[in-house]
Structure 1
Amino acid sequence: MSEEDLYLGLDLSTQQLKAIVLDQNLQRTHEASVIFDTDLPEFRTHGGVVQDKSNLNVVTAPTLLWVKALDILMDRLLVAGMDFAKIASISGTAQQHGSVYWLKNAENTLKTLNPDQFLHIQLNGAFSIQNSPIWMDSSTSQECEILEKAVGGPENLAEITGSKAYERFTGAQIAKIYRNKPESYHNTERISLISSFLCSLFLGKIAPIDISDGSGMNLLDIKSKRWHQKLLEETAPNLKEKLGDVVSSYTILGDVSSYFVDRWCFRTDCKVVAFTGDNPASLIGMRLSPEWLAVSLGTSDTIFLWLNEPKVLLEGHVFCNPLDDEAYMALLCFKNGSLTRERIRDSCANGSWDLFNQLLESTPRGNFGNMGLFYDRKEIIPFVSGDFCYNKRGEKVTKFSSLEVQVRALIEGQFIAKRAHVEDIGFKFNSETKILATGGASKNKAILQVLSDVFNSPVYILDTSNAAVLGSGYQAKYALYKKEKCFKEVTENLPEPKLLCSPFQDVEEIYIPMVEKYRKIIDVINYANC
């Protein structure tokens, strides 16, 4: 290893392809991106996708769009002064759950690419399905029912694969391809996830699927780290051969292909590390460890956490951990995040965050026992919509007595719900627990103080913008040093998270009863909606 070695990370998200180059201290040296809608208008995407006009539930993306985006990205890195000969290793990430279908003989095409031609020209005929189904597709209800029925119901499927059947997950998408386009499926040599597809371009052969991204397919047994035979059989014939074997997320798959050596002057011993999904890569980019929770406060609120044992989740997901084959990561998503906070801000504080914060801070912790649950859109956890306001006696009311009570009821209600569901999946809070806050609302200290109090844990912030692509860059280096150093040692030169809030001493006696009150309220709401 040389002090001049660099590490290349890539992120193929829904709307763009990004690249980041990191030095030995994991500091950024070069960045570039390609925005699909504006940089590649010939593919006629909107938000990076194509929606079927006859069936709006069908959402895909042109596979060749992603290939051409890589051609452009490499040019932009070169123009930015990138010396590819300094890159020691490459890893990447991509939007989860999407799938790519390689036509027969595609691997031979990858192995014999001409460095004098663009990738997108040579791979124009390499795919049996031209438009790849992606995570936004919701057209596979029938296939989801078949998968759940095959193993005795959604709870059994969640125990095996980490999630109940979801329409966007890859297993159901493959089943639909086989049912609707049997000839195309028959002509498919291999099936990749979008992450392993992107990896294949650098490797010069079909790259294996990694266990973290693979655990977002409803096909992988997350305990054995192998494909589940019954689920494969129910999905499509000969599927194991088309998927190949899975590998650990930090696996060094080989040297970069001769195409990149000859066309872009990569060195011949530049290593290609397995690519993974964007959620696992974000866990890497946020440098989470067992004592940390990451709470992302955005349009949707999301919680990432490290699990030592898998839990059965019917509202949430358990993935294999990208840093430790013996561990897992859980992901809980709550639809009603910043947009709901903004609605209450607008109605109570005339659109002013300063006034909103004044109202929030003028009420005591516990809000006199009042609790509000506000769901503008049908929530995931629990599956309900509407506003639910409860007074200190647990009685439902039409509205609260004052604006400040309403504001605190919103913020406390959101975080009490999150704590309840984190506890329900087996996370144990203790004196070592810390919270990393990210997303737009992580800039609001008044809101984060409530988060700290409800969880009885200190809240830290970190510049985790572009966490997924940073995670892929970190993984590129970690894979090279894994035999010598742990992940924490590899990333020790990075700045530590900054402490922003600490809980008050009386919070447990306030919020433990309120968490139990929340559970009782949800039981009543769920019963009423049965």
Structure 2
Amino acid sequence: MWVKALDMLLDRLRICGADFSKVAALSGSAQQHGTVYWSVGAEEVLKKLDNSHFLHTQLASCFSVTNSPIWMDSSTTKECESLEKSLGGAEALAKITGSKAYERYSAAQIAKIYSSKPVAYKNTERISLVSSFACSLFLGKYAPIDWSDGSGMNLFDIEKKTWSEQCLNACAMGLDQKLGMPVPSQTVLGKISDYYVERFGFNEDCNVVAFTGDNPSSLAGICLKEQDIAVSLGTSDTVFLWLSEPKTLPEGHILINPVDQERYMVLLCFKNGSLTRERIRNLYSDRSWDQFNKLLESTPKGNYGYLGLYYDSQEIIPSICGDFRFDKDGKLVNKFPSPEIEVRALIEGQFLAKKAHLLNLGINIGPESRMLATGGGSKNHHILQVLADVFMTPVYTFVSLIFF
């Protein structure tokens, strides 16, 4: 599906008149944690692509695992427990790799393939992340995994900047050979494959730079600075920021900074984001954001002491599910007095939870801090006003300063 999507995209761009010969270099990003399993001999196919045929027809038999595990797969609890036990516990694993074991992370997914599909694993010549897989398509050979995306696998030693032998051995035999050597995120890997020169008219001198994950790309793309805090309001809400030295976090993740390989980034992921906001909107506002915003604006900051925490699906930070409503005395209640209180309880609760986790991790939110909001939710200025109120700091989008 991914390969065919690239075929369709490039063909449509060509038909629309895109002049690929002007492209001097290309790179890209992809959702983190997903893994792609190239079968034995696949690289030779990549090196000898025929420009008269589509990519997806030529690569149809090049994958030992047909359906790639992605970040939404949470079926690897057993593998996570085994990995942490092998490394001496969750904290020991987090100290090495920047994260405790997570079900959606690549290490657990690879371990599951190794144990449940031994023939497929044996027939795997290279394991790519989705980012390095996409890069390989343009490079015409296996692209290495970059440090930043690789540090979101539970396999990468974030201080030594290489694979952790302990983690590799805890997951599968011969894994180091199947992963290849990781490289810094800014690495120029080579020239674009002749296939794209001949089929689409790319310049033969077009450089291919290592691809990376979507979260590291977000940090780079919004030009985040030290002391800034970025909040992405999407299907999952994420919070990320620069970090000078690695920390061992009980929750959340430390990744290699894609912009400065000697620095790091903190990433906190909250699974219940926009879909949860949409559920409450649909319940009280007839699917209208305008009506939702009117309810939000009709209550004051602090919501008369009422607070709500809403987890439609099993949350990551913390591991919890369900709706929790608290009155002004801090007691659990079954419902709130009115829809407008429910609406503000949801939005304030989501942002207060994010702030609490940052403070618990020792992240300082000072007078020089800026909040940079992105994602679909950042288009709603009423929601951004609550974000500014909760963090007591200016909130910016890509266009301008929004609120104080």
Alpha-carbon offset, residue 183 of structure 1: 2.9
Distance 2:194 2:305 in 1: 66
2:137 matched residue in structure 1: 201
1:266 matched residue in structure 2: 202
Change in Cα spacing, 1:262 to 1:182, as seen in structure 2 (3 Å) is same
Deviations 1:173-230 (A, max 9, x none): 2222222332332232221112111111211211110011111211111121110001
Deviations 1:382-412 (A, max 9, x none): 2233343334443444444555444433332
Change in Cα spacing, 1:266 to 1:175, as seen in structure 2 (3 Å) is same
The one of 220, 235, 240 equivalent to 1:284 is 220
SS at match of 2:365: coil
The one of 428, 435, 444 equivalent to 2:371 is 435
SS at match of 2:24: strand
Normalised by the size of structure 1, how large is the TM-score?
Answer: 0.71
Q: What are the equivalent positions in structure 2 for 1:83-232 lying under 5 Å apart? A: 83-232=19-168
Amino acid of the structure 2 residue aligned with 1:278? D
1:71 matched residue in structure 2: 7
SS at match of 2:28: strand
1:425 matched residue in structure 2: 361
Distance 1:399 1:68 in 2: 48
1:254 matched residue in structure 2: 190
Deviations 1:268-314 (A, max 9, x none): 21100001112222222222222322222234322222222223334
Distance 2:147 2:336 in 1: 48
Alpha-carbon offset, residue 252 of structure 1: 0.5
2:403 matched residue in structure 1: 501
Alpha-carbon offset, residue 377 of structure 1: 3.5
Deviations 1:43-63 (A, max 9, x none): xxxxxxxxxxxxxxxxxxxxx
Q: Which has the larger radius of gyration?
A: 1
Amino acid of the structure 1 residue aligned with 2:158? I
Deviations 1:95-132 (A, max 9, x none): 22222222223223322333333323332333333332
Amino acid of the structure 2 residue aligned with 1:500? I
4+ aligned runs moved over 6 Å, structure 1: none
Change in Cα spacing, 1:233 to 1:375, as seen in structure 2 (3 Å) is closer
Change in Cα spacing, 1:360 to 1:117, as seen in structure 2 (3 Å) is closer
Deviations 1:252-278 (A, max 9, x none): 011112222233222221100001112
Matched, 1:334 2:288: no
Change in Cα spacing, 1:343 to 1:178, as seen in structure 2 (3 Å) is closer
Gap regions ≥5 residues in structure 1: 1-64, 463-496, 503-530
Matched, 1:414 2:350: yes
Distance 2:305 2:239 in 1: 25
- Range moving further from structure 2, 318-327 or 131-140: 131-140
Alpha-carbon offset, residue 347 of structure 1: 5.3
Change in Cα spacing, 1:388 to 1:101, as seen in structure 2 (3 Å) is closer
The one of 300, 317, 334 equivalent to 1:364 is 300
Distance 1:72 1:410 in 2: 40
Contact 1:107 1:206 in 2 (8 A): yes
Change in Cα spacing, 1:237 to 1:361, as seen in structure 2 (3 Å) is same
Alpha-carbon offset, residue 420 of structure 1: 0.8
- Range moving further from structure 2, 205-214 or 419-428: 419-428
Q: What are the equivalent positions in structure 2 for 1:26-45 lying under 5 Å apart? A: none
Change in Cα spacing, 1:294 to 1:165, as seen in structure 2 (3 Å) is same
2:386 matched residue in structure 1: 450
Distance 2:345 2:140 in 1: 55
Change in Cα spacing, 1:277 to 1:363, as seen in structure 2 (3 Å) is same
Change in Cα spacing, 1:177 to 1:304, as seen in structure 2 (3 Å) is same
CA RMSD in angstroms comes to: 2.4
Gap regions ≥5 residues in structure 2: none
Distance 2:310 2:194 in 1: 55
Q: What's the % identity of the aligned pairs?
A: 62
Distance 2:107 2:225 in 1: 30
SS at match of 1:175: helix
Distance 1:307 1:160 in 2: 16
Distance 1:127 1:406 in 2: 48
Alpha-carbon offset, residue 152 of structure 1: 1.0
Distance 1:269 1:182 in 2: 41
SS at match of 1:325: coil
SS at match of 1:133: coil
1:296 matched residue in structure 2: 232
Paired residues, number: 404
Distance 1:254 1:203 in 2: 7
Alpha-carbon offset, residue 89 of structure 1: 0.3
Change in Cα spacing, 1:356 to 1:106, as seen in structure 2 (3 Å) is closer
Alpha-carbon offset, residue 342 of structure 1: 4.1
1:237 matched residue in structure 2: 173
Contact 1:311 1:426 in 2 (8 A): no
Alpha-carbon offset, residue 240 of structure 1: 0.9
Normalised by the size of structure 2, how large is the TM-score?
Answer: 0.91
